[in-house]
Structure 1
Amino acid sequence: MAGPEAADTAAALAEPQARRVTYCGVCTLPPEYCEFGGTVKKCQDWLQKENPPMYERLWSADALQASTATLSVDARKRAEKDAHKKALKAEAQEAKALATIAASKVIIKRVERNKRKYVTAVSGLEAFGLENKKMSKEFGKKFATGSSVTKIPSGGEEIVVQGDVSDEIEEFLLEKYPVIPEDNIELVEDKKKKKEPPSVGQQA
């Protein structure tokens, strides 16, 4: 009759073991599925750097040859054609993203609210992959002032920072976020319009 130790061992073996799944740092899919995304080349480069054994298993010359060995000539041609299409699509998407960035502007606007009181409004950061809520917190902490995200009439958002800190924000963005080219930052001044006195004909 089996003793208690044998029973404990059998129970331990019967328990499901947790499986550790690796996820790609580029497309976030498991590496086995990176080929179905639009960033295959970047995924391969990431995997080769972060997990060489898995890269060799999936993308080495021997692995690729083995995966296509059972395919017919026509199937291989189709596979090569599909891979070429995916690569071209990924390049087109990357080029489009770069073009969008090149055409985008970060507007830093100095707004006069009351006499000698100003706020600084910042918009356009989303085009460079920056989150307004996160940036609002950074501005508030950096300049020790109030900072909040508000909706604008056009439907987008802007960050409103208390005080006249337009130059400081430009310097901060250029120093900490090199993804934003200096030529893509525009400083604007929005002065409060003074009320004109009524004309002679309008006076009572």
Structure 2
Amino acid sequence: MAATASAPPADLRPAKSIIYCGVCSLPPEYCEYGGTTKKCSDWLSTTHPALHNTLYNTTDTAPLSTLTPSALARAEKDAQKKAAKASATEAKETSRRLTSRVTIKRVERNKRKYVTEVSGLEAFGLELKKVAKELGKKFATGSSVTKAPGGLGEEITVQGDVSEEIAEWLGEKYGEAVPEDNVDLVEDKKKKGAGAGP
């Protein structure tokens, strides 16, 4: 007869909470690899001062004293380059968002049947599949992500003539991410007789 083992306790490990940086979303131990070290350090010092003192101990200069003056100068120069690159990338991203356009186009299919195509949302950091699902629920209609004509990215196709409603909804739901001035309403009519045969 085999000996029966008693059931082990439900969980032997203590609960552990992990802190993620509010700037680069990495754990604070890895912020130096994200390119925004200064901003991450400032965020950590205001939100978690004890952890900041542990990671960015400014009183302990032993590692710095072991570096030669030329190595110390190189390390400082590299840190300045990373900071400049991060700020340039941030400025480039901001200017790209300001110049990007969202186009909401009403397209006539057959007779009085319409679809609404929304393109340009990915430039503002929105997930197209998530937005398509939200639009489908909001307007109780079919909505999907399709390839844009010409192969220039993807767009959301919504069944029905809801272009003005989508523009209002974008302003309400994503007004902070997508400025109202960057939204264009366009009407695309199908040419008569283009698909008709002799």
Distance 1:144 1:48, change over 3 A: farther
Equivalent in the alignment of 2:131? 135
The answer to whether residue 37 in structure 2 is matched with residue 40 in structure 1 is: yes
Residues 104-183 of structure 1 aligned to structure 2 (within 5 Å): 104-155=100-151, 156-177=153-174, 178-183=176-181
Deviation at 1:39, TM superposition (A): 1.7
Matched pairs, number: 183
Decide which moves more: 110-119 or 19-28: 19-28
Distance 1:73 1:161, change over 3 A: same
Structure 1 Cα separation of the partners of residues 166 and 39 of structure 2: 33
Deviation at 1:96, TM superposition (A): 1.1
**Unmatched segments (≥5 aa) in structure 2:** 1-11
Structure 2 Cα separation of the partners of residues 175 and 18 of structure 1: 39
After superposition, the C-alpha distances for 1:134-156 in whole angstroms (9 at most, x for unaligned) are 00011111112111111123221
Structure 1 Cα separation of the partners of residues 81 and 190 of structure 2: 54
Deviation at 1:75, TM superposition (A): 2.3
Distance 1:141 1:19, change over 3 A: closer
The TM-score, its normalising length taken from structure 1, stands at 0.78
Larger radius of gyration: 1
**Unmatched segments (≥5 aa) in structure 1:** 1-14
CA RMSD of aligned residues (A): 2.5
Identity in percent: 63
3-state SS of paired residue (2:72): helix
The answer to whether residue 71 in structure 2 is matched with residue 61 in structure 1 is: no
Structure 2 Cα separation of the partners of residues 21 and 71 of structure 1: 33
Decide which moves more: 21-30 or 128-137: 21-30
